[in-house]
Amino acid sequence: MPFAFDVSAFFEVAQDGVDAAWGRCPKAFGAVFNFFHYFVAVAGFFVKEYYDAYTYVACLGYFDPVLCVLVFWFWFQLRFGYIVLVSNFYILLQYIAADNIQRGYPMSNGNIIEVKNLTKIFGKFTAVDDISFSVKKGEIFGLLGPNGAGKSTTLRMLSTLSQPTKGTATIGGYDTVKNDMQVRKLIGIVSEKMIIYNRLTAKENLYFFGSLFNIPKDTLNKRIDELLELVKLTKFKNAQVGTFSTGMRQRMNVIRALLNMPQVLYLDEPTLGLDPQSSVEIREFIKKLNQEQGTTVVLTTHMMVDADMLCDRIAIVDHGKIIAIDTSTNLKKIISGADTMILNLEIANLTPDILSAIKALDCIDSVTQETAAQLRIIVHGEDAFDAIVDLVRKRGGKITAMSNLQPTLEDVFLHITGHDVRDSVAEKVPMTNRRFGAPQARVR
Which CATH number does the domain housing residue 286 bear? 3.40.50.300
Same domain, 201 and 318: yes
Same domain, 92 and 144: no
- CATH number of the domain encompassing residue 363: 3.30.70.1340
Same domain, 13 and 93: yes
C-alpha span between 378 and 414 (Å, rounded): 9
Same domain, 41 and 170: no
Q: What pLDDT was estimated at residue 48?
A: 41
Half-sphere exposure of 227 (CA within 13 A, CB side): 25
Is 394 inside any structural domain? yes
User: Measured between alpha carbons, how far is residue 34 from residues 15, 25, 68, 338 in Å?
Assistant: 9, 11, 13, 73
Same domain, 203 and 219: yes
Listed ranges 98-102, 167-171, 250-254, 277-281; the one with the highest mean pLDDT: 167-171
Q: 18: closest CA among 6, 34, 36, 31? A: 34
Residue 369 above 50 pLDDT?
yes
Which stretches does DSSP call E strand in 137-175?
140-144, 166-171, 174-175
Share of the chain above pLDDT 70, in %: 68
Task: Choose one of 264, 295, 329: the last residue of a domain.
Answer: 329
Dump pLDDT digits (tens) for 303-329: 888 888 899 999 999 899 999 999 988
C-alpha span between 217 and 332 (Å, rounded): 49
How far apart are the two ends of the chain, measured CA to CA in Å? Answer: 73
364 forms beta bridges with 379
C-alpha span between 133 and 243 (Å, rounded): 41
Q: What pLDDT was estimated at residue 169?
A: 94
Same domain, 320 and 361: no
Q: What is the mean pLDDT of the chain?
A: 76
Mean pLDDT of 131-140: 93
Residues 267/297, Cβ–Cβ less than 8 Å:
yes
Is 438 inside any structural domain? no
C-alpha span between 133 and 131 (Å, rounded): 7
301 forms beta bridges with 144
Same domain, 180 and 62: no
Is 24 inside any structural domain? yes
Dump pLDDT digits (tens) for 190-212: 887 888 899 999 999 999 999 88
Q: 398: closest CA among 434, 441, 346, 442? A: 346
Task: Give the CA angle between residues 253, 199, 267 to the nearest 5°.
Answer: 10
Pure H helices in 167-275: 180-186, 202-211, 217-230, 246-256
Helix (H/G/I), strand (E/B), else coil: 188: strand
DSSP 290-316: HHHH--EEEEEES-HHHHHHH-SEEEE
* 54 or 239, greater pLDDT: 239
Identify the domain containing residue 17 by its residue range: 7-103
Q: What total number of domains does the chain contain?
A: 3
Residue 174 above 60 pLDDT?
yes
Same domain, 85 and 121: no
Q: What pLDDT was estimated at residue 160?
A: 92
**pLDDT band for position 2 (50/70/90)?**
very low
Q: What pLDDT was estimated at residue 379?
A: 85
Residue 29 above 90 pLDDT?
no
Mean pLDDT of 361-379: 87
Contacts of residue 281, defined as CB under 8 A and 6 or more positions apart, other chains included, come to: 247, 251
Q: Which of 65-74, 140-149, 201-210, 337-346 has the lowest mean pLDDT?
A: 65-74
Is 56 inside any structural domain? yes
Q: Which of 110-124, 167-181, 215-229, 277-291 has the lowest mean pLDDT?
A: 277-291
* 146 or 421, greater pLDDT: 146
Residues 143/323, Cβ–Cβ less than 8 Å:
no
Contacts of residue 411, defined as CB under 8 A and 6 or more positions apart, other chains included, come to: 332, 335, 342, 376, 378
Same domain, 148 and 195: yes
Amino acid at 173: G
* Sign of the alpha-carbon torsion through 173, 179, 184, 189: positive
Q: 381: closest CA among 359, 368, 364, 402? A: 364
What is the pTM for the complete model shown?
0.63
Residues 48/174, Cβ–Cβ less than 8 Å:
no
Residue 72 above 60 pLDDT?
no
Residue 145 above 60 pLDDT?
yes
Mean pLDDT of 213-224: 89
Is 437 inside any structural domain? no
Mean pLDDT of 65-83: 53
Dump pLDDT digits (tens) for 222-274: 999 988 988 889 999 999 999 998 888 888 988 898 888 889 999 988 887 77
Task: Choose one of 300, 329, 358: the last residue of a domain.
Answer: 329
**pLDDT band for position 338 (50/70/90)?**
low
Task: Choose one of 329, 359, 387: the last residue of a domain.
Answer: 329
Helix (H/G/I), strand (E/B), else coil: 271: coil
* 238 or 92, greater pLDDT: 238
